[in-house]
Amino acid sequence: MNTRLFSLLGILMASLLPIGAAAQGWKPPRTADGQPDLQGIWTNGTATPLERPSELAGREYLTQQEAEAFEKQTAAARNSDRRRATAKEDLQWAYNNSWYDWGNKIVKTRRTSIIIDPPDGKIPPYTAKGQEIARAHAEGQSKPPAGPEDLGLPERCLVFPTAGPPMLPYDYNNNYRILQIPGYVVISIEMIHDVRIIPLDGRPHISSGIQQWLGDSRGRWEGNTLVVDTTNFNGKTRYAFFYYGITDENYHLTERFTRTDPDTILYQFTIDDPMIYTRPFTGELTMSRTGVTMYEYACQEGNYAMADILAGARAEERRAAAGK
């Protein structure tokens, strides 16, 4: 077999493998202090759904042709430039398509869901406590807010599900800046500008009596993979916008960041919260280098939505009291 044909065969075989397996022979660059270099601005936007659709039950991967077709179909369905069936639906898609950043990539991994364990690609069932919290959350969302505390954390500019952790995509602002300095990895999240500062020096977690919005993270290197262990959550955050993402104070998260080629980080996470879910579960997606600058995200400044939402709720109450 000649060298050129052998090279072409190797490229073809690599293209048929999942991204992690295809990149095993690639060695990441190093920082000045010898760490695998994860630095840069990355996006995790993807067309891959969090859970596997029922029509793809039993299928972990799509073929290349199916992935390309799925990506096109998803982009068309999400196109906010097209008119919706009703005026209300048009208001829900208030911005045109240029404002959204869905990241319609699925071809790179061809996975049918971000969740990879359990094997069915579904988030495990809630425990009795999880069901109770989910029910209370749904009921609270169905009522007019009495005050700011009844509104969601994103509306209050406190924390957004893209911060997680785990860091899962939304329909815009899916960018993350990773910075490495001796002894630390720092992750700046575009949406609501949260920052995770992750020590690498082996220090223990803070006291269990101290709870934080994004938890308390500790990192270590396992070969070329950054492993981040996070505890001490306050149980009030939601880690996925299109899914309740319920947690409580027992929430324990393990994340793995592996640079697989110059423009890709393989991001894996495992959630273990025995009071909320009947078993731990794991997800996987890729983060792609953006090649663009990440600008400041302003949330509180000019946040007229908060006052308008509360004013609308009071107006509804007045109409109800007047019998209208």
Q: Is 146 helix (H, G, I), strand (E, B) or coil?
A: coil
Structural domain includes residue 294: yes
Report the DSSP beta bridge partners of residue 227.
Answer: 220, 256
Report yes or no on 108 lying in a domain: no
**What pLDDT score was predicted for residue 323?**
82
CB count in 10 Å sphere of residue 55: 7
CA atoms within 13 A on the CB side of 100: 19
Quote the distance between the C-alpha of residue 284 and its chain's center.
Answer: 10
Is residue 199 a part of any domain in this protein? yes
Question: What is 46-78 written as a DSSP string?
Answer: -SS-SS--GGGTT-SB--HHHHHHHHHHHHHHH
In a domain, 100, yes or no: no
In a domain, 60, yes or no: no
Domain membership of residue 266 as a residue range: 22-48+115-321
* 168 neighbors 287 (Cβ within 8 angstroms): no
The pTM of the full predicted model, rounded to 2 decimals, is 0.86
Instruction: Kindly state the tokens that stand for 143.
Output: 């009522």
Q: Which amino acid type is present at position 233?
A: F
Looking at residue 106, its pLDDT comes to 65
183 within a domain of the structure (yes/no): yes
Contacts 24+ apart (CB under 8 A), 243-246: 243/50, 243/51, 243/123, 244/134, 244/137, 245/161, 246/126, 246/130, 246/133, 246/134, 246/137, 246/276
Structural domain contains residue 68: no
Residues of the chain with pLDDT under 50: 1-18, 20-22
Confidence at residue 284, expressed as pLDDT on a 0 to 100 scale: 96
Alpha-helix runs per DSSP H in the chain: 3-15, 19-22, 64-78, 87-92, 128-142, 304-321
CB of 72 within 8 A of CB of 260? no
Number of folded domains in the chain?
1
How far apart are alpha carbons 15 and 218 in whole angstroms?
35
Please tell me the distance from the alpha carbon of residue 94 to that of residue 81, in angstroms, as a whole number: 10
- Which residues fall within 8 angstroms of residue 215, CB to CB, at 6 or more apart? 165, 230, 231, 232, 233, 251, 253
186: which strand partners? 179, 197
Nearest to 211 by CA among 188, 230, 191, 190: 230
In this predicted structure, what is the pLDDT of residue 193? 82
User: Residue 39 in contact with residue 85, Cβ under 8 Å?
Assistant: no
Q: What Å distances lie between residue 103 and 107, 226, 252, CA to CA?
A: 11, 24, 28
Question: Per the structure block, which two tokens stand in for 287?
Answer: 């983060």
What is the CATH classification number for the domain harbouring 270?
Answer: 2.40.128.20
Contacts of 305 (CB under 8 A, 6+ apart): 155
